[in-house]
Amino acid sequence: MRTNQIRLAAYPVGEPKDSDFKFTTEELPELGEGQVLLRAIYLSLDPYMRGRMSTAKSYAQPLSIGDVMLGGTVCEVLESRSDKRHAGDIVLAFTGWQTHAVADAQHTRRLDPAAAPISTALGVLGMPGFTAYGGLLEIGRPKPGETVAVAAAAGPVGSAVGQIAKIHGARAVGIAGGPEKCRILIDEFGFDAAVDHRSQTFEDDLASATPDGVDVYFENVGGHVASAVTRRLNRFARIPVCGLVAGYNDTETPTGVDRLPGFMRRVLTLSLTVRGFIQDEFIPTHQDAFLNDMPGWVRDVSVRYREDIVDGLDNAPEAFRGLLRGRNLGKLLIRVGEDPTN
Amino acid sequence: MRTNQIRLAAYPVGEPKDSDFKFTTEELPELGEGQVLLRAIYLSLDPYMRGRMSTAKSYAQPLSIGDVMLGGTVCEVLESRSDKRHAGDIVLAFTGWQTHAVADAQHTRRLDPAAAPISTALGVLGMPGFTAYGGLLEIGRPKPGETVAVAAAAGPVGSAVGQIAKIHGARAVGIAGGPEKCRILIDEFGFDAAVDHRSQTFEDDLASATPDGVDVYFENVGGHVASAVTRRLNRFARIPVCGLVAGYNDTETPTGVDRLPGFMRRVLTLSLTVRGFIQDEFIPTHQDAFLNDMPGWVRDVSVRYREDIVDGLDNAPEAFRGLLRGRNLGKLLIRVGEDPTN
């Protein structure tokens, strides 16, 4: 069996270019004992991948040049040499940017297509949903009546943050780029207010949308949005920091005003809690609760989700660039191959 | 009874000048029911006072022009119209920069001169000691074998932080200005290592002193010390932010490199916890434990302390400037009047 792959050809400087990727085809090895042959159906594209395409110090090892681009996938089992998986099973795996792969069965999780659309295992019921759940509830700890602000609010993490905040009795204020996304925040995701960060009146709009200030700022973009929200923070506000996508493509250390002393002064005088995290660290403490709560919330529509599905593995690099620019609406997935459950 | 006072004459720009203070004399009112007439013995000078001499937004109301400068004091009761206090009692009060005051007895706390030197109620057994205790144990949460770094380590908060860290089994690394302070950190306060931040080899020295990185950075200075320690932080490090004295006199927003994005990236990739606080907020949860632990540690000499006593209220402005420059060694106190217990 051959697999079509996209590999890292060079560490991108700034936005990843086509030449930073390399398309390859490879013959897969024979299955070993306990292994499965997988056909990718959906590939998840996520901002964290940009961090792995860099040698800058991070929580995870960077990709090496020549590595297949990494990523979570939903796959169909074509062949199995494990008694835990059978041909035709749909599984969650981490096979990256390729059409087929051989994996250890124990590194896959079986999905039940009857319980939820299989693509949601990469979104609202998967890593992005868990990121929202763990970061908001463990670090943000919203109390009834408090205000939770979240940027990239129309994205898979942000939209879940706002809706989980509402379930916990907080007021949800979403920040997104453009009037269409803002409309969806209100009409579809049920945010209490939506603010367009591309608007000239952004800061005033944010102030109007947060009359009682902000108690939790779920940080996943950084940049000018973060600066504006920081000025609205209340005493004892909590800031789960789960991403800084606005700066992921930055190539130079920004100059001008050094905002760090002012930020730290605010941390001090407002008794702020700023806490970086990646979702893995909450798996031991929160995964059971997540798997208990979230499917029910999705079923009873207290949590809605959107998907943005792009067809064809070849389109992954361009889709990934769009993701970093905030172009997509909802969870970005590549449909690598036919979805047999659809 | 007349009182000699020092009042705020103008909001200082940069370092407080003599002309920012005004010396006044005032006749005190007659004692009301429940009130006491107090004679100040010791006045505490602390960095937080600089924040109150400014209209910048902070956790507390700023002083108004003309207000008596604020501050904690240890006083002798000269007259009492409360059955809870008697002439001759030594009390902790908050009468500010003046020689005498009338206060409500209920706003004073009686001290036992036999239990500890009365001046310690303003230092190791008072607000600075509690700041170290609450911030380190609630936010820093040092574990045995971890490394705790603290700046202004020869000061009343820093020296207590290091020694409490040791009691909890952590390795204590103190940062201070100059070789004399560094010697005292080792010889007197029992730090495991001391680093002189005025040395040309500061960053290398810090790296040598923290071979396993830094798990807790107790932040009370900011500036270049904070930048250097930040580069030594381990994953999941905690940063209690209790002060930023290096910037308290700053008049301009610093320019050059904007260090905020890099700092936030570190917060994210290292899962850091950055938490500002003022000691008041830990009173409900930690004061009983502090009053239980700290006097015993002082008695059995697992916590040592130093005092830097300046005679005469008139010298308070100059002593305060020295404090902000890091000139003093140990808890800075003004001896306003004779100590009858000495």
Grade residue B330 by pLDDT with cuts at 50, 70 and 90.
confident
Q: Across the interface, do B267 and A274 touch by the CB < 8 Å criterion?
A: yes
Return d(Cα B226, Cα B228) in angstroms, integer.
5
**Greater model confidence, A129 or B248:** A129
Tokens of B225: 């010390």
Tokens of A64: 């090496």
In chain B, residues with a C-beta closer than 8 Å to the C-beta of A240 are none
Q: Across the interface, do A261 and B247 touch by the CB < 8 Å criterion?
A: yes
Helix (H) or strand (E) holding B129: helix B127-134
Q: Give the pLDDT mean for A128-143.
A: 97
Per-residue model confidence (pLDDT) at position B223:
85
Q: In degrees rounded to 5, what are phi and psi of residue B98? A: -155, 160
In chain B, residues with a C-beta closer than 8 Å to the C-beta of A256 are 255, 258
Grade residue A9 by pLDDT with cuts at 50, 70 and 90.
very high
ipTM: 0.87
pLDDT at residue B60 tops 80: no
pLDDT at residue A324 tops 80: yes
Grade residue A61 by pLDDT with cuts at 50, 70 and 90.
confident
**Distance (Å) from the C-alpha of residue A225 to the closest C-alpha of chain B?**
13
Question: How far apart, in Å, do the first and last CA atoms of chain A sit?
Answer: 25
In chain B, residues with a C-beta closer than 8 Å to the C-beta of A247 are 261, 265
Q: Give the pLDDT mean for B72-91.
A: 97
Among B251, B263, B270, B274, which would you mutate to test the A interface (most chain A Cβ atoms within 10 Å of its Cβ)?
B274
Q: Give the pLDDT mean for A176-180.
A: 94
Among A269, A273, A278, which would you mutate to test the B interface (most chain B Cβ atoms within 10 Å of its Cβ)?
A269
Per-residue model confidence (pLDDT) at position A12:
94
**Distance (Å) from the C-alpha of residue A328 to the closest C-alpha of chain B?**
24
Per-residue model confidence (pLDDT) at position B326:
80
Using CB atoms within 10 A of its CB, is residue A199 exposed (0-12), middle (13-18) or buried (19+)? middle
**Distance (Å) from the C-alpha of residue B240 to the closest C-alpha of chain A?**
9
CATH for A127-299 is 3.40.50.720
Domain boundaries, chain A: 2-120+305-335, 127-299
Helix (H) or strand (E) holding B323: helix B316-325
Q: Give the pLDDT mean for B135-145.
A: 97
Per-residue model confidence (pLDDT) at position A105:
97
What torsion do the CA atoms of B256, B258, B263, B264 make, to the nearest 10 degrees?
A: 180
Grade residue A248 by pLDDT with cuts at 50, 70 and 90.
low
C-alpha dist (Å) from residue A145 to A164, A189, A293, A294 = 14, 18, 21, 22
pLDDT at residue A195 tops 70: yes
What 3-state DSSP class applies to B43? strand
**Greater model confidence, A51 or B11:** B11
Least confident of B22-31, B43-52, B204-213: B43-52
Per-residue model confidence (pLDDT) at position B329:
83
Q: Confirm if A259 and B260 have CB atoms less than 8 A apart.
A: yes
Per-residue model confidence (pLDDT) at position A58:
65
Q: Which residue among A264, A270, A275 places its CB closest to the CB of B244?
A: A264
Q: How many residue contacts between A and B have a Cβ separation below 8 Å?
A: 125
The per-residue pLDDT of chain B, averaged, comes to 94
Q: Across the interface, do A244 and B260 touch by the CB < 8 Å criterion?
A: no
pLDDT at residue A59 tops 80: no
Tokens of B190: 């029992």
Q: Among A107-116, A257-266, B241-250, which range has the highest average pLDDT?
A: A107-116
pLDDT at residue B59 tops 70: no
Q: Which residue among B235, B257, B260 places its CB closest to the CB of A263?
A: B260
CATH for B2-122+305-335 is 3.90.180.10
Find, among B4, B3, B2, B5, the residue nearest to B66 by Cα: B5
Least confident of B144-153, B195-204, B254-263: B254-263
Nearest residue on chain A to B52, judged by CA atoms? A269
Per-residue model confidence (pLDDT) at position B282:
95
Per-residue model confidence (pLDDT) at position B96:
98
Find, among A106, A108, A152, A110, the residue nearest to A131 by Cα: A152
In chain A, residues with a C-beta closer than 8 Å to the C-beta of B260 are 258-260, 263
Q: Which residue among B57, B222, B281 places its CB closest to the CB of A271?
A: B281
What 3-state DSSP class applies to A120? helix
Return the CATH number of A2-120+305-335, one of 3.40.30.10, 3.40.50.970, 3.90.180.10, 3.30.930.10.
Answer: 3.90.180.10
Cα A31 to chain centroid distance, Å, stands at: 32
**pLDDT tens-digit series, residues B249-299:** 666 667 678 889 889 999 999 999 999 999 999 999 999 999 999 999 999
Grade residue B47 by pLDDT with cuts at 50, 70 and 90.
confident
Per-residue model confidence (pLDDT) at position B252:
65
- Which chain B residues have any C-beta within 8 angstroms of a chain A C-beta? 51, 56-59, 219, 222, 226, 235, 241-244, 247, 250, 253-278, 281
pLDDT at residue A201 tops 80: yes
C-alpha dist (Å) from residue B249 to A189, B16, B294, B321 = 47, 8, 32, 10
Question: For chain A, what is the radius of gyration of the CA atoms?
Answer: 20
**Distance (Å) from the C-alpha of residue A92 to the closest C-alpha of chain B?**
25
Nearest residue on chain B to A255, judged by CA atoms? B257
Helix (H) or strand (E) holding A35: strand A35-44
C-alpha dist (Å) from residue A323 to A127, A155, A316, A317, B185 = 16, 10, 10, 10, 52
In chain A, residues with a C-beta closer than 8 Å to the C-beta of B57 are 269
pLDDT at residue A79 tops 90: yes
Cβ count within 10 A of residue B131:
26
Q: Across the interface, do B273 and A275 touch by the CB < 8 Å criterion?
A: yes
Per-residue model confidence (pLDDT) at position B327:
82
Q: Across the interface, do A256 and B253 touch by the CB < 8 Å criterion?
A: no
Q: Please give the DSSP secondary-structure letter assigned to residue B301.
A: T
pLDDT at residue A116 tops 80: yes
| In chain A, % of residues over pLDDT 70 | 96
What torsion do the CA atoms of B190, B195, B197, B202 make, to the nearest 10 degrees?
A: -170
DSSP symbols for B231-297: TTEEEEEEEEE---GGGTT--S--EEE--HHHHHHHHHHTT-EEEE--GGGGHHHHHHHHHHHHHHH
Q: Which residue among A57, A219, A270 places its CB closest to the CB of B276?
A: A270
Grade residue A330 by pLDDT with cuts at 50, 70 and 90.
confident
Nearest residue on chain B to A59, judged by CA atoms? B269
Q: Across the interface, do A268 and B253 touch by the CB < 8 Å criterion?
A: no
The per-residue pLDDT of chain A, averaged, comes to 94
Q: Which residue among A258, A271, A277 places its CB closest to the CB of B59?
A: A271
Indicate the residue type of A133. Y
**Distance (Å) from the C-alpha of residue B232 to the closest C-alpha of chain A?**
13
Tokens of B142: 């040092």
Among B260, B280, B282, which would you mutate to test the A interface (most chain A Cβ atoms within 10 Å of its Cβ)?
B260
Per-residue model confidence (pLDDT) at position A143:
98
Using CB atoms within 10 A of its CB, is residue A67 exposed (0-12), middle (13-18) or buried (19+)? middle
pLDDT at residue A254 tops 80: no
Q: Across the interface, do A274 and B277 touch by the CB < 8 Å criterion?
A: no
Q: Across the interface, do B276 and A272 touch by the CB < 8 Å criterion?
A: yes
In chain A, residues with a C-beta closer than 8 Å to the C-beta of B217 are none
**Residues ≥6 apart with Cβ < 8 Å to B101:** B3, B28, B37, B38, B40, B75, B93, B95
Indicate the residue type of A202. F
Nearest residue on chain B to A241, judged by CA atoms? B268
Q: Confirm if A2 and A78 have CB atoms less than 8 A apart.
A: no
Q: In the block, which residue shows the tokens 């006491």?
A: B36
Q: Give the pLDDT mean for A124-146.
A: 97
Q: Across the interface, do A261 and B254 touch by the CB < 8 Å criterion?
A: yes
Q: Which residue among B51, B254, B267 places its CB closest to the CB of A241?
A: B267
Q: Across the interface, do A253 and B262 touch by the CB < 8 Å criterion?
A: yes
**Distance (Å) from the C-alpha of residue A318 to the closest C-alpha of chain B?**
25
Grade residue A294 by pLDDT with cuts at 50, 70 and 90.
very high
Q: Which residue among B59, B259, B265 places its CB closest to the CB of A244?
A: B265
Q: Give the pLDDT mean for B133-156.
A: 96
Nearest residue on chain B to A244, judged by CA atoms? B265
Least confident of A97-111, A216-230, B234-248: B234-248
In chain B, residues with a C-beta closer than 8 Å to the C-beta of A226 are 264
Half-sphere exposure of B206 (CA within 13 A, CB side): 28
Global pTM reads 0.89
Q: In degrees rounded to 5, what are phi and psi of residue A228? A: -65, -45
Tokens of A84: 């835990």
Per-residue model confidence (pLDDT) at position B251:
64
Q: Give the pLDDT mean for A183-202.
A: 97
Per-residue model confidence (pLDDT) at position A247:
67
- Which chain A residues have any C-beta within 8 angstroms of a chain B C-beta? 51, 57-59, 219, 222, 226, 235, 241-244, 247, 250, 253-278, 281
| In chain B, % of residues over pLDDT 90 | 86
**Distance (Å) from the C-alpha of residue A273 to the closest C-alpha of chain B?**
4
pLDDT at residue A189 tops 80: yes
